[in-house]
Amino acid sequence: MNRFVGKHVVIAAMSVLAGFAATSAATVQAADIAGNAKAGQGKVAMCIGCHGIPDYRTAYPEVYRVPMLGGQNQTYLENALHAYKKGDRHFDTMHAVAVSLSDQDIADIAAYYSAQTSSSKNNPDK
């Protein structure tokens, strides 16, 4: 009985590993576009107007706090921008901004913002 259970555990573990390998392969494909923080620095001029001002709040369409981007996780930033671009995440101004960005722009910008720390030189904060 114990051997029988043991065999199933091994098979289950193997299929988990196989699934993991398949997922990693897909991730590697999606990550073909590597973000370049230096290139990203030149692409954030239009973001700073809203995201770089401490405690800034947009007045339209409603009073809304603008999230801080510096130091945010790179994948999180990329996912957020893709979601705005596709319309999965709704926010009019961010949709307008995101549709103007290529996948490479998004990767570069995410690399740039995720590399910022409070001690970064010229940190657009954030």
The count of other CB atoms within 10 Å of the CB of residue 72 is: 16
Residue 33 or 50: the one with the smaller Cβ distance to ligand HEC is 50
CB of 59 to ligand HEC, least distance (A): 10
Q: Which is nearer to ligand HEC, 20 or 76 (CB)?
A: 76
Beta bridge partners of 58: 64
Token pair belonging to 57? 């709040």
Which residues contribute to the site for ligand HEC (CB under 6 A)?
44, 46-47, 49-51, 58, 64, 66-67, 69, 77, 80-81, 89, 91, 93-94, 97, 109
Structure tokens at 28: 């590697």
Which CB atom, from 24 or from 92, has the smaller least distance to ligand HEC? 92
Strands (E), 4-71: 57-58, 64-65
Give 57's strand partners: 65
Residue 18 CB coordination number (10 Å): 10
DSSP letter string over 69-91?
-TT--HHHHHHHHHHHHHTSS--
Closest separation in Å from C-beta 5 to ligand HEC = 45
**Minimum distance between the CB of residue 32 and ligand HEC, rounded to whole angstroms?**
20
Q: How far is the CB of 56 from ligand HEC (least distance, A)?
A: 9
Q: Which is nearer to ligand HEC, 23 or 102 (CB)?
A: 102
